[in-house]
Amino acid sequence: MLVLALTTATAVLCLLVAAALNPQVPAMRFWALGLTMIVAGALLQSAREYLPLWISAVALTQGYLVLWWGARCYRERALPPHLLRYQLLFLLAQGLAFFVLRDSLRFSILTHSAVVVVISLLMARELVLTPGRQRTLTIAWCVIWGLHAALYLRRFVLYSIDPVYIQATTFEQAEPVEVLNYLEGIVFIYAFSMLCIMFLLRRLQEELKQQASHDSLTNLLNRRAFDQAAQQQLAANSREGVAAALLLLDLDHFKRINDTWGHQAGDRVLASFARLLEAQLREQDLACRFGGEEFLLLVSNVDDAQLEALTQRLRTQWQSTDIGVGENRSGATVSIGYTLIAAGEHAPLHALVERADQALYRAKENGRNRVEAWDPVLSAS
């Protein structure tokens, strides 16, 4: 048990350092805290000649629960709701049960083993449900937690039906199963700690990729990422014979907002409009902040009626949006210019942007807060 505690302490130290250096990944704090509690429980269990066994049992099971909170946090990219409340309720219920039956070694082992089995299965489930999971890491995670669950399930069964373990009153009397669990615990802790670091690196890589491809204010694609994605989407549309449209949207009188209420107010307006755009996106659609108060939107597999409905919906919804700036909080408008892309058309992206820009110019010239389509006849003249 002492070896297990020292092994866990080393792993915890590494995770604590990683968590301190990377506060943007809160799951690391839970995993480090959970292993810290397991260390405390193991140390308390090694001192069972001087301390009641139920105290160490509570610490160990609480540690596993915190590990699960960490996995949920990693999957949801946010702190789980009502975490502290559930943790305290579980602590009270578990602590009371262990205290009432504190003289039963078998009860403590059965309860602890059952908790470990359930938490192990939940840990595997959380990662399987994580969006964008990496296959190799997912398999490794499920394997170590599956083996961990299997050994503790074996322990639970032995203490349930085997007369030798049913009658055991000390860990020494159950040495065969306990030694195997201790050895597995050492391997498990090292493997779990390494996987936590790998998941941290994976999340940091995702954040770097997000920062490189998205506008930090609006969280929409930046121009470089949009150009790459749009060219791929246009090529796919051309191969499949799918019609599309490119929209250029410009927030009317945006400079007035910046000049009157400040750039922070302008940033809030841009972020609010970006959320409106995202709410209208389908899986195949692409949106980006083109520059300043201009936005690009590439929509695929649309006809004239759908496009008209989309552009008018964007215009009217933005006009009725409370932008939270000044006394007239819902007076913002947007002008939209768009160009249709016929099925099979091979026009380059820069040409499509130019066409949408010409349509947007007409929308501005004709009074703003309106939608205009690119007209090849007008453009030629």
Domain limits of the chain? 2-211, 223-380
pLDDT of residue 326: 58
Backbone φ, ψ for residue 331 (5° rounding): -105, 15
280's tokens: 């209208």
Q: Is 217 in contact with 289 (CB distance < 8 Å)?
A: yes
Per-residue pLDDT for 381 more than 60?
Answer: no
Q: Hey, is 306 helix, strand or coil?
A: helix
Helix (H) or strand (E) holding 290: strand 286-291
Pull the structure tokens for residue 201: 């690196």
Report helix, strand or coil for 78.
coil
| pLDDT at residue 4, rounded to an integer | 59
Q: What is the CA radius of gyration of the chain?
A: 30
Looking at the chain, the whole-number percentage of residues with pLDDT higher than 90 is 45
84-101 pLDDT tens trace = 777 788 778 877 777 777
Question: CB 19: neighbour CB atoms within 10 A?
Answer: 21
The set of residues, in sequence order, having a beta carbon less than 8 Å from that of 269 and lying 6+ positions away, is 251, 254, 257, 323, 325, 332
Task: Report the SS3 class of residue 333.
Answer: coil
Across 67-81, 167-181, 234-248, which has the greatest mean pLDDT?
234-248
Q: Decide if pLDDT at 29 tops 80.
A: yes
Q: What does pTM read for this prediction?
A: 0.72
* pLDDT digits 0-9 by tens, 285-323: 999 999 889 999 999 999 888 899 999 999 999 988 877
The whole-angstrom separation of Cα 282 and Cα 222 is 18
Q: Which pLDDT band, with edges at 50, 70 and 90, does 339 fall under?
A: very high
User: Which DSSP state fits 114?
Assistant: H
| Cα–Cα distance measured from residue 151 to residue 111, given in angstroms and rounded to the nearest whole number | 14
CB 252 within 8 A of CB 368: yes
Q: Where are the alpha helices (DSSP H) in 219-343?
A: 223-240, 254-261, 263-280, 304-319
- Nearby residues of 158 by Cβ (< 8 Å), 6 or more positions away: 165, 177
List pLDDT tens digits, range 110-159.
Answer: 888 999 999 999 999 999 998 877 889 999 999 999 999 999 999 999 99
Q: Which CATH superfamily is domain 223-380 in?
A: Reverse transcriptase/Diguanylate cyclase domain (3.30.70.270)
Residue-wise pLDDT for 343-359, tens only, equals 888 889 999 999 999 99
Where b means 16+ CB within 10 Å and e means fewer, 51-86 reads: eebbbbbbbbbbbbbbbbbbbbbbbeeeebeeeeee
Q: How is residue 378 written in tokens? A: 């007008």
Ranked by mean pLDDT, the top range of 143-152, 165-174, 274-283 is 143-152
- If one counts every other C-beta atom within 10 angstroms of the C-beta of residue 37, the result is 22
How close are the terminal C-alpha atoms of the chain, in Å? 86
User: Residue 184 pLDDT more than 90?
Assistant: no
- Please report the pLDDT score of residue 380 as a whole number: 56
